[in-house]
Structure 1
């Protein structure tokens, strides 16, 4: 005899989707309103292969959190480039050639997804984040685009709080 589906699986259920333009990101030293775009955390589960005669058995390997990219506006005041460079100088000081301790340059970053009325509906914390690369934008007389800064951030791990 055919199995009938539950009516809750067949009929449409109304829901409010999370929208990609409703977010706020808090990075110490960088005003939140400068953050134009950011990728959400992603994880890659490595693989361990156990060989046995003619077959393979696969297990989960190391978990690796993937880089996050952040796009910032660069206003005249406060300068987004200056804010980023202050963080970069905690990693490496170009004038002296000295590197910084990880306790100084690694930061915890909070990433909130907002609901339609501005309520926090999701919160990620990126633990131990630091700048892997920073691109300070291009200049071009033929465009009217605002200058943007692109950051690639590496981090130890992410926690989905709610």
Structure 2
């Protein structure tokens, strides 16, 4: 099965010049915790609700802070014509729950989540096992700096 068959096509996009408040309102409206960040017709980053909390709010920045100050610039993605099993394995390896989906011209065409894959793909259990494995990157037992 191809990613194009399971992905969500109507992914909402924010601009790097939008404020965190605008991004948070869009997340609330679409009931999601991640948004692609686009400039023109190019994907330039991703922003999550956690990015907003950790990179801005925890540092004392307010709702007028720009998305570019909180977003992750290194974007992991998949292509719409990739097999779901390959994408599940990739999501497990890089430990992400969602990936933007691009066409071969590298234009955003959707987003795929574990829940999208769980509804339609048998490889989700393997991806979930890899994604939830404990790492130091997100370990709350590590002393705060």
Q: Which has the larger radius of gyration?
A: 1
Please state which band the TM-score falls in when normalised by the shorter chain. Answer: under 0.3
Length-normalised TM-score, structure 1: 0.23
Name the TM-score, length of structure 2 as normaliser. 0.24
Larger RCO: 1 or 2 (CA < 8 Å, sep 6+):
2
Structure (1 or 2) with the greater strand fraction: 1
Higher helix share: 2
